Amino acid sequence: MFVTVHGVLIAILLGGLPSLASAAPCTLDKLGWIAGTWRDAKDPSKVEERWVLAPEGTLMGNAWGFPGKGAGFAEAMTITEVAGAVSMRLRHFDGKLDRAWEEREAPMIFIASDCEAHTAVFSGAGPHEGEKLTYRRAGSKLTITGDFLHRGVPDHEVFQFVRAHG
C-alpha cells in the first residue's frame, strides 16, 4: 500500500497525476464485433445497418432508412486502417440515390479514438471535429450514439438496433 501511494507521489513530482482512464488503442481486428445485419429495435422494417468484413480486414457498411414519410436515405461506410490509424468514412444519399448529402470529394471522416471489447468511439475529423459516433454492442443489441453539430447546434441522437436473424 505504501509503495503505491509513494509511486503516485513520485509521479506527481515528476510530471502530474498518472492517467487513470486512458483510451484503449484501436485496430481493425478489435472491431469485428460490429459485423452483422442490424435492424431498428422498434420497427425493423424502417431502418437497417449492415457491416461485413471485406478482404484485407476492411469493414464495409451500408445502411438505409425510411423513418417517416418521404424518400428515406442510404448510407455507404468503410472502416479501414492506414498507417496504424483506424478511421470510418461515410456518405449519405437520398433514398433514390439522386442526391449526395456530402460534397463529392468530402466524405464524413471519424477517427477511432477509443476501442474496448464491444465499444468503439469515432471522433470527427476536419469539418466534423467536435462530433462523435459511439458504437456499443451488448449481445444481440447494438446502440449507435451520435453527437453532431448542425450549423453549430449540438444534436444528440441514439439509435437502437437488434441483430437480424436469417
Q: Domain locations in the chain?
A: 24-163
Please tell me the number of Cα atoms within 13 Å of 140 on its side-chain side: 7
Integer CA distances (angstroms), 148 to 26, 29, 135, 163, in order: 22, 27, 14, 25
User: In angstroms, rounded to a whole number, what is the distance separating the alpha carbons of residues 143 and 60?
Assistant: 18
pLDDT given at position 166: 59
In this structure, are residues 128 and 112 in contact, taking their beta carbons and an 8 Å threshold?
Answer: no
Residue-wise pLDDT for 88-136, tens only, equals 999 999 999 999 999 888 999 999 999 999 999 999 999 999 999 999 9
Residues of the chain with pLDDT under 70: 1-22, 166
Q: What is the pLDDT of residue 25?
A: 84
* Fold exhibited by the domain 24-163: Lipocalin (2.40.128)
Give the pLDDT score at 69.
Answer: 75
